């Protein structure tokens, strides 16, 4: 389907995409670039990429498909670095967890080539990062949200849908704004809470002892707290307005539960817990 | 090792204990009682118990080991109901997630027989409840916290250690107060937060749509929100002081992260996330 993938960012997400694309027979050659040359070299040695590029621009040279798999704050500078080699026939995608800021960066940096860019957010990941955790199955069966804008070329949008579908993903489209509102609620806020939970424990004299006693509930609840710091700094900052609005709703709900606990209102508390429990028991990951 | 287990409460925890004890060849006969006769009947039909008892007292008649596996708020009434058949040679244990309140209930209700009671908290569970999810492996490899008091009989404490050890558990001892402080931090607060997270979503016009977009991070983070409402109402109320103290620390930590986000303090935010990420990455469930 494609001749050459230009992979910018050989971390977990980018490397896994390259492996999946190769395994599906959808690309002949992968040229990769990472900020750290040792990462690029490791990606080549692992067979994730075929050729090491010494710059983002060189990774794009000759590519008919380009994937940015980098912290979202690096998006604009990367688009500026590659725009001279992005043509109307190049499909450019990203995997960023926020979309409003990425789309704004694309408009500013890609200029007349912005139509080649299809903003993507695959709903997958791991709490570990780096090329050494690359996994050809990372995307299989997952949702991918595309947030095209009015200037996105139909042909590239269609190609993006075909690529993700070929990797076994369920593709959904929405506006960047709707995307960011939803993921502030169901992803960015849970991460923020998980970070706060661990740091709140760290701040206590007995916090480490408490953690040594924790069980499988704590394990699952805090798994996302181990996520990549730079990536999550960017996400929390990029989507701060929606995130802080969600955090406010959460804290109000938490405080109303605390009120029921303080006043010993058992029936009302049980009814609130029942509502949460039933909602969660019915929910299934898509 | 034992002739007869008197099982009071044939839910997930009690039924799984009976199955594990039987499989290990540690008991000849299990007599079970549940508040709901249909549960007791199902437990017998499933082979979890051998004989149905029509009251807690009758479940204890002839038992040399008794397990209370009931919501913690029912502990005192149950102790009162069975105390005439609890002798110095009966080992009585519970599996409650709070210990200070359970120990107080035992002092008040068991009177001179309080020494036969060994308060236990196995650090295990599932987000589903009921005898139909009984699992002989539920306790294997898990921690069990014993919180004996000064009046606990040494012989019963030793027997309790032997039973749990025989089921493959790692046994730890601490005071009821130390137990409740630790589990407020690493179990009760995470549950409270998970309930608040789901109800906060429920309160929003687009909350259900947002949840439909959620991925594996949300799945794991909110798993415990599906827990049993009555059981968790009791736990949150029984340990309210420690829980509200932990919730306060958590909210202060959350708000200090929000402050860094609002002010765009990227370096400080990344450093805070890194602290959480490294702590959590090193942590392992015991």
Residues B143-157 have pLDDT tens digits of: 999 999 999 999 999
CA angle, A206 then A211 then A216, to 5°: 160
Confidence of residue B125 (pLDDT cuts 50, 70, 90): confident
Looking at chain B, the whole-number percentage of residues with pLDDT higher than 70 is 100
Strands A120-122 and A143-146: antiparallel
Beta-bridged to residue B122, according to DSSP, are: B144
Q: Quote the minimal CA–CA distance from A10 to chain B in Å.
A: 21
Which chain A residues are closer than 8 Å to B219 by Cβ?
A: 285
Q: Is A220 on the interface with B (CB under 8 A)?
A: yes
Nearest to B212 by CA among A279, A160, A157, A94: A279
pTM of the predicted protein model? 0.91
ipTM: 0.91
Which of B95, B120, B213 should one mutate to test binding to chain A, selecting the residue with the greatest count of A CBs within 10 A?
B213
Q: Which pLDDT band, with edges at 50, 70 and 90, does B127 fall under?
A: confident
| Average pLDDT for chain B | 97
Residues of A within 8 A of B277 (CB-CB) are 195, 225-229
Tell me which residue of A192, A13, A96, A242 sits closest to B277, measured CA to CA: A192
Sign of CA pseudo-dihedral B67, B72, B78, B83: positive
Instruction: Return the exposure string of A1-33: e unless at least 16 CB atoms fall within 10 Å of the residue's CB, then b.
Output: ebebbbbbbbbbbbbbbbbbbbeeebbeebbbb
Select the residue of B199, B210, B251 nearest A185 (Cβ to Cβ).
B210
Instruction: Write b or e for each residue in A63-75: b if 16 or more Cβ atoms lie within 10 A of its Cβ, otherwise e.
Output: bbbbbbbbbbbbb
B-chain CB neighbours of A191 within 8 Å are: 217
Residues of chain A with pLDDT under 50: none
Residue B258 has pLDDT above 80, yes or no: yes
Q: What is the 3-state secondary structure (H, E, C) of B249-280?
A: HHHHHHHHHHHHHHCCCHHHHHHHHHHHHHHH
Contacts of residue B47, Cβ cutoff 8 Å, sequence gap at least 6: none
- Residue A157's beta-bridge partner residues? none
Q: Tens digits of per-residue pLDDT, A169-204?
A: 999 999 999 999 999 999 999 999 999 999 999 999
First-to-final CA distance of chain A: 27
Q: Say which of A195, A270, A272 has its CB closest to residue B273.
A: A195
CA distance A160 to chain B (A): 19
């Amino acid at each position: 389907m494609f001749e050459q993938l230009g992979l910018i960012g050989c971390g977990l997400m980018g490397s896994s995409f390259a492996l999946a694309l190769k395994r599906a027979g959808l690309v002949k050659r992968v040229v990769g670039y990472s900020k750290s040359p040792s990462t690029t070299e490791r990606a080549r040695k692992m067979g994730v990429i075929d050729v090491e590029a010494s710059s983002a621009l060189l990774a794009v040279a000759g590519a008919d498909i380009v994937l940015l798999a980098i912290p979202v704050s690096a998006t604009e500078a990367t688009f500026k670095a590659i725009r001279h080699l992005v043509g109307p026939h190049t499909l450019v995608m990203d995997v960023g967890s926020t979309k409003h800021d990425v789309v704004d960066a694309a408009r500013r940096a890609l200029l007349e080539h912005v139509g080649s860019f299809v903003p993507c957010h695959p709903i997958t990941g791991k709490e570990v990062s780096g090329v050494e955790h690359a996994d050809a199955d990372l995307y299989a069966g997952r949702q991918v949200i595309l947030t095209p804008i009015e200037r996105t070329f139909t042909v590239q949008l269609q190609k993006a849908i075909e690529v993700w579908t070929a990797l076994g993903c369920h593709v959904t489209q929405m506006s960047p704004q709707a995307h960011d509102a939803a993921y502030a609620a169901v992803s960015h806020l849970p991460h923020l809470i998980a970070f706060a939970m661990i740091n709140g424990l760290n701040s206590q004299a007995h916090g480490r002892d408490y953690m040594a006693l924790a069980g499988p509930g704590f394990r699952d609840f805090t798994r996302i707290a181990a996520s990549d710091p730079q990536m999550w700094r960017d996400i929390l900052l990029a989507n701060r307005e929606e995130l802080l609005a969600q955090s406010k709703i959460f804290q109000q709900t938490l405080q109303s539960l605390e009120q029921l606990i303080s006043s010993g209102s058992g029936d009302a508390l049980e009814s609130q817990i029942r509502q949460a429990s039933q909602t969660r028991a019915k929910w299934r990951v898509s």
